[in-house]
Amino acid sequence: MKTGIELIAEERQEQIEKHRRTIEQDVKENSHYQLSTAAGMLCWVDEEDFGDDSNGFCPVGWDSDIWNHMIGKSYKERLIIAGALIAAEIDRLQRLTPTPAK
């Protein structure tokens, strides 16, 4: 059985390779903390909690069909995605902060 960190790392890799999400895209398209906000929402809500307005909770600039697909997953799957989105947000922040010269 894979550990949580292994599952999250696999999901993050899938975001990059399969869905072609890059850090550069996240810097440009998720500058209003959409990644961490989405991760938080995925951790505590079920699709039913959104009622008929799940699109109203879709992060700004995100595809509502993709968002609805994510929130329709099981709690465990949503936690894995949330962990990968947190990793993506950390990658985005690190790209914004220049590495100090030695």
pTM as predicted: 0.87
Tell me if 85 is assigned to some domain: yes
Name residue 74's amino acid. S
Q: Can you tell me the mean pLDDT for 66-86?
A: 95
Q: What are the b/e assignments for 16-47, b being 16+ CB within 10 Å?
A: eeeeebeeeebeebbeeebbbbbbebbeeeee
∠ Cα 6 77 37 (to 5°): 95
Query: How many percent of the chain have pLDDT more than 70?
Result: 84
Query: What pLDDT sits at residue 7?
Result: 98
* DSSP 8-state code for residue 47: G
- Overall domain count for the chain: 1
Residue 53 has pLDDT above 60, yes or no: no
Tell me if 102 is assigned to some domain: no
The domain of 13 spans 4-96
Candidates 1, 18, 54, 4; CA nearest to 87 is: 4
Tell me if 9 is assigned to some domain: yes
Residue 3 has pLDDT above 60, yes or no: yes
